[in-house]
Chains A and B, each alone.
Chain A
Amino acid sequence: MENTKKKFNLRRFAIASAVLYIVLLIGPIVGLDIPVIVESVKANPLQLVQFFIIGISNGAIIAIIALGYTMVYGIIELINFAHGDVYMVGVFTSLTVLSVTGTLESKDPGKIVFGLILALVIAIVVCAVLNATIERLAYKRLRNAPRLAPLISAIGMSFIIENVGLMWAAQAWLVPSFGTTGGASQKVFPDMLGVLFTSMGWDVNLLASSGLALRLTIKDLLVIILAVTLMTGLYLFVQRTRLGKAMRATAQNRDAAKMLGIDIDWVITATFLIGGGLAGAAGLMAGLYNNTAWWFMGFRAGLQSFTAAVLGGIGNITGAMLGGFLIGLLASFSDGYLNARWTNALVFATLVLILLFRPTGLLGEQTGQKA
């Protein structure tokens, strides 16, 4: 007995050291230069905490977008490829609202707060309606078609919305801060929260007085608090309300739910509305936190959130939140210690590895393996 256990351990040790050797050998090609990383962590351990804070804040945004993926996948088993682009529309909508209401130039705290709340509401409504419209136009009639047809349709929708974003970013008459460089370049989303807190006389950095070389801003807190509120609200909604129950029933078995008198079409529309609304809220939050607006940002955000949804177990709302935070941390550490140019590839590699080795995800209930 003891002998076999020893052998087993030896074999594991051999495999682990082989993997370590290979990582040390070819890791530096993709920026995974462990000795260098160890050195930089040793030199500035506080940076680790800093990346952790950034990762959690970005992870909160990713988690909210991931909720939209996971809910839609849970109900109609479709990867709503256009969801990331709905989030991009959320960023642009809120930026446009802020610009049209004159909030961008304002220094008056009351006006800024009002503008931000208005932007949040309008972004949520626009994205919710957009997402539901996408479902009506592109997915509804394909509900009984072979599985790949709605996916291809979703990719097409994603392209259409990306193009809308590209054109939107070129409309300098609508939002003067877009400038005249055309729609393809990244645009600045003004740091309204910074302006707001400065005008109220607060220091944005909460740790400024502690003397540590760390930044934990009110923005971080606000993003995390808003995200956690939205997630809790959604969780309670799905668990407690009648519509939430109908959603869960539809996810389990659409035909049976229909027989029991649930209006499937309305449940699916409601799912898309909620998912789109969350994406809209995430859009405003991401714009305020990262201060960029770009027509192509939905693609990267979409894939990160989809990875998060798969990592947590697709169809599982708690899983999507967990996955969002984990992917946020992964992306943040990769940005910090490897190189930002490898982050996308790393997230993709994570997605591939999860799908290959644990397709049910960390907390997964659904297998998602039906052909």
Chain B
Amino acid sequence: MKNIRSGITFGIIGGLLTFLFGGWSVTVIGCLMGVGLGMGMAGRFERKDPLKIALAVLPSALTAAVLLVGLSLYQNNFVQEAIGKRPAAENTVLYGNLIGFLGTVLFTTLLAALRGLPEKQEQTARMILLAALIVAFPFVDKLTALRWTAQIIFALIFVILGLGLNIVVGYAGLLDLGYAAFFAIGAYTTGILSSPQHGIFMNFWLVIWIAAAMAALWGFMLGAPTLPLRGDYLAIVTLGFGEIVPVLFRNLIDVTIKEPFTCWILPGLIRLFGAETTMACITFVEHEDLTAGEKGISPIGRPVIPFINYEFQSSNPIPWYFLIIMIILLSVFIIRRLRDSRLGRAWMAIREDELAAAQMGINPVTTKLAAFAMGATFSGFAGAFYAAYIAGIFPSVFDFSASIIILCVVILGGIGNINGVIVGGLVIMTADRLFLPALKDFLSSLLTHTVLPSISDPVVQRAVSDNANPILYRFLFFGLTLVIMMAVRPEGLIPNAQVRAELHSNETPPIEDETPKSKKAKKG
């Protein structure tokens, strides 16, 4: 029964998504939905014969697929008209829905059936399947002309940022509200070192490491003064740093550094005794435009693959997609190794109880500084990639709301859990970058073609059309995410067992409930 219910939920959500995107989207949504549904349901089964599991999930897979295709066909035949678009060509509809249907059923049963294999094989098989999907995605996207890849890349940038922040917030338990500062430092390092702004054009493959190192250095330097602080005071100080850094980048447009002794002190003394002076004033920099202020640094050099001399183009997102996937894989590898290392265990000990950890011989100073520096490193990677991908950086990108969006990613996904953060980043950023704009287009065309003509009062008409723009409610959605998650599920969608236990420490411990979940979380 529970399985059927999941099937219905997924089917309706997927079907409603086709309302927004239309066309071939039913195919891609169907396959992705199948993967999600299969992985979600797999955990509910005992390890037994794969075929039996496949048969057991088949009804819910079929339910989801039927709902998806039904809603998609409804969209094509009725909704398209209401929003003033022509229904898609018959071939598109037939093949798109057919593949979507089969994809849902196939991926759901396949991923659920993997549960029947021994644990090692199950993981390998799932990895291979996911890898194949990740590799295939941009090409399918190109074939179906959905143009999602460019937006998915933004989501993946925030996945890296979330992974970095997860080290600070999730592992070491230090709430950092100014994390976007390190993102900005990484991006501006890249911008300054590979743009006409200062006439320096360094290779991207070198700059990305310099950016990461620079971010780590600043993570260390800004982390050092916050060491004596705890809890919300730490959060506020990091927020302060997070605000000061963009202000600096915004305003370092007229930098003058003069040696004060020769410029003011000596001449001042001489003038005091009534003599005239024309001393040479030692000037280091005068009226130097370091960061180009509000208008931003652009263009920024793109990466070039050596030997074959292929330069990345902004018109073709596929190479960028694979580059960021590689950076994520590298980051996940490093972070997993870090988490299981002595340092990682020290972070968690500090998070649980700093005094006790210090008593056990952990040095809180170096451990916390390492967390700040390591966390910042990954945002340095993300910043460098971002700067090169956009080919321009503007200070407004890195303000407080960016820090909070990254925090949303970590909190929605699950504090302290790598898989959770990846899911959180994908959900939040695809919602922000794909879903909201599509919803905006959908609503505005629905309004102009169906709703507005039936409203006679021009004032109401104008008020409705002005306010029916979901993009204006972005902050509301982020805010709601934080408030609702904190109230309902503070451990996130895919929780880390320890964090979960800690967050629910004041409730009576649900012992039976805890065991299967914690097994699942350990894999992350």
- State which of A24, A141, A171, A349 has its C-beta within 8 Å of the C-beta of B244: A349
A349 touching B482 by the CB < 8 A rule? no
Q: Please give 17 more A-B residue pairs, beta carbons under 8 A apart, in addition to A149-B490, A352-B241, A370-B230.
A: A148-B232, A149-B486, A150-B486, A152-B486, A153-B487, A159-B475, A159-B482, A162-B475, A166-B472, A167-B472, A170-B472, A299-B400, A345-B244, A349-B240, A351-B240, A355-B233, A371-B231
**Top-8 shortest CB links A-B:** A156-B482, A159-B479, A24-B260, A160-B479, A163-B476, A348-B240, A156-B483, A163-B475
Shortest distance between the CB of A283 and any CB in chain B (Å) = 20
**Given A156-B483, A341-B250, also A151-B235 (CB < 8 A):** yes
Shortest distance between the CB of B443 and any CB in chain A (Å) = 15
B243 touching A160 by the CB < 8 A rule? no
Q: Mark B189-233, 1 if CB is under 8 A from A, else 0.
A: 000000000000000000000000000000000000110111111
**Given A142-B487, A155-B177, A170-B467, also A24-B264 (CB < 8 A):** yes
Binding site for B on A (CB under 8 A): 21, 24-26, 28-30, 35, 78-79, 137-138, 141-142, 144-153, 155-164, 166-167, 170-171, 173, 183, 299, 303, 306, 339, 341-342, 344-345, 348-349, 351-352, 355-356, 359, 368-371
Shortest distance between the CB of A187 and any CB in chain B (Å) = 15
B243 touching A344 by the CB < 8 A rule? yes
- Residues of chain B with a CB closer than 8 A to A148's CB: 175, 231-232, 235
- Residues of chain B with a CB closer than 8 A to A341's CB: 247, 250-251
B482 touching A356 by the CB < 8 A rule? no
- Residues of chain B with a CB closer than 8 A to A371's CB: 230-231, 354
A351 touching B237 by the CB < 8 A rule? yes
Interface check B145, CB cutoff 8 A: no
A25 touching B236 by the CB < 8 A rule? no
Q: How many inter-chain residue pairs (CB < 8 Å) link A and B?
A: 159
- Residues of chain B with a CB closer than 8 A to A79's CB: 232, 235-236
Shortest distance between the CB of A300 and any CB in chain B (Å) = 10
B486 touching A356 by the CB < 8 A rule? no
- Give the nearest-CB partner of A143 in chain B: B506
A159 touching B241 by the CB < 8 A rule? no
- Residues of chain A with a CB closer than 8 A to B503's CB: 145-146, 149
Q: Bound complex: CA of A138 vs CA of B484, how far in Å?
A: 8
**Given A29-B257, A183-B472, A344-B247, also A160-B483 (CB < 8 A):** yes
Q: Bound complex: CA of A79 vs CA of B400, how far in Å?
A: 17
A147 touching B232 by the CB < 8 A rule? yes
- In the assembled complex, 19 residue pairs joining A and B whose CB atoms fall closer than 8 Å, in A order, are A26-B257, A78-B232, A141-B487, A142-B486, A144-B506, A145-B503, A151-B232, A151-B235, A152-B486, A153-B483, A159-B475, A160-B475, A170-B466, A183-B472, A341-B247, A341-B251, A352-B237, A356-B228, A371-B354
| Among A29, A35, A171, A356: residue with most chain B CB under 10 A | A29
Shortest distance between the CB of A128 and any CB in chain B (Å) = 20
**Given A146-B502, A149-B503, also A370-B231 (CB < 8 A):** yes
Q: Bound complex: CA of A151 vs CA of B490, how far in Å?
A: 12
B476 touching A352 by the CB < 8 A rule? no
A29 touching B255 by the CB < 8 A rule? yes
Shortest distance between the CB of B39 and any CB in chain A (Å) = 28
Shortest distance between the CB of B506 and any CB in chain A (Å) = 5
- Residues of chain B with a CB closer than 8 A to A152's CB: 175, 407, 411, 482, 486
- Residues of chain B with a CB closer than 8 A to A342's CB: 247, 251
- Give the nearest-CB partner of A141 in chain B: B487
- Residues of chain B with a CB closer than 8 A to A171's CB: 463, 467
Interface check B65, CB cutoff 8 A: no
Interface check B259, CB cutoff 8 A: yes
Q: Bound complex: CA of A157 vs CA of B481, how far in Å?
A: 10
Q: Bound complex: CA of A161 vs CA of B231, how far in Å?
A: 24
- State which of B243, B407, B462 has its C-beta within 8 Å of the C-beta of A173: B462
B257 touching A28 by the CB < 8 A rule? yes
Binding site secondary structure of chain B: helix
Q: Bound complex: CA of A242 vs CA of B504, how far in Å?
A: 36
Interface check B473, CB cutoff 8 A: yes
Binding site secondary structure of chain A: helix
In residues 480-503 of chain B, which contact A (Cβ within 8 Å)? 480-483, 486-487, 490, 502-503
Interface check B85, CB cutoff 8 A: no
A156 touching B486 by the CB < 8 A rule? yes
Interface check B312, CB cutoff 8 A: no
A355 touching B236 by the CB < 8 A rule? yes
Q: Bound complex: CA of A59 vs CA of B463, how far in Å?
A: 38
Shortest distance between the CB of A228 and any CB in chain B (Å) = 28
- Residues of chain A with a CB closer than 8 A to B265's CB: 24
- State which of A173, A344, A348, A356 has its C-beta within 8 Å of the C-beta of B459: A173
**Given A183-B472, A368-B233, also A153-B482 (CB < 8 A):** yes
A155 touching B231 by the CB < 8 A rule? no
Interface check B478, CB cutoff 8 A: yes
- Give the nearest-CB partner of B225 in chain A: A356
Interface check B252, CB cutoff 8 A: yes
- Residues of chain B with a CB closer than 8 A to A170's CB: 466-467, 472
B257 touching A173 by the CB < 8 A rule? no
A156 touching B478 by the CB < 8 A rule? yes
Interface check B313, CB cutoff 8 A: no
Interface check B404, CB cutoff 8 A: yes
Q: Bound complex: CA of A148 vs CA of B230, how far in Å?
A: 10
Q: Bound complex: CA of A349 vs CA of B248, how far in Å?
A: 12
Q: Bound complex: CA of A171 vs CA of B30, how far in Å?
A: 40
Interface check B52, CB cutoff 8 A: no
- Give the nearest-CB partner of A156 in chain B: B482
Q: Bound complex: CA of A146 vs CA of B169, how far in Å?
A: 13
- Residues of chain A with a CB closer than 8 A to B407's CB: 152, 155
Shortest distance between the CB of A367 and any CB in chain B (Å) = 10
- Residues of chain A with a CB closer than 8 A to B232's CB: 78-79, 147-148, 151
Shortest distance between the CB of A64 and any CB in chain B (Å) = 20
- Give the nearest-CB partner of B255 in chain A: A29
Shortest distance between the CB of B61 and any CB in chain A (Å) = 36
Interface check B256, CB cutoff 8 A: yes
Q: Bound complex: CA of A160 vs CA of B235, how far in Å?
A: 20
Q: Mark B502-514, 1 if CB is under 8 A from A, else 0.
A: 1100100000000
Q: Bound complex: CA of A309 vs CA of B480, how far in Å?
A: 27
- Give the nearest-CB partner of A314 in chain B: B233
Q: Bound complex: CA of A371 vs CA of B232, how far in Å?
A: 8
Q: Bound complex: CA of A356 vs CA of B238, how far in Å?
A: 12
Shortest distance between the CB of A369 and any CB in chain B (Å) = 6
- Residues of chain B with a CB closer than 8 A to A160's CB: 475-476, 479-480, 483
- Residues of chain A with a CB closer than 8 A to B248's CB: 30, 345
Q: Bound complex: CA of A151 vs CA of B248, how far in Å?
A: 27
B243 touching A355 by the CB < 8 A rule? no
Shortest distance between the CB of B203 and any CB in chain A (Å) = 30
- Residues of chain B with a CB closer than 8 A to A149's CB: 486, 490, 503
**Given A29-B252, A171-B463, also A348-B486 (CB < 8 A):** no
Q: Bound complex: CA of A333 vs CA of B477, how far in Å?
A: 38
Q: Bound complex: CA of A265 vs CA of B514, how far in Å?
A: 32
**Given A153-B487, A170-B466, A370-B231, also A159-B236 (CB < 8 A):** no
- Residues of chain B with a CB closer than 8 A to A158's CB: 479
- State which of B226, B476, B502 has its C-beta within 8 Å of the C-beta of A159: B476
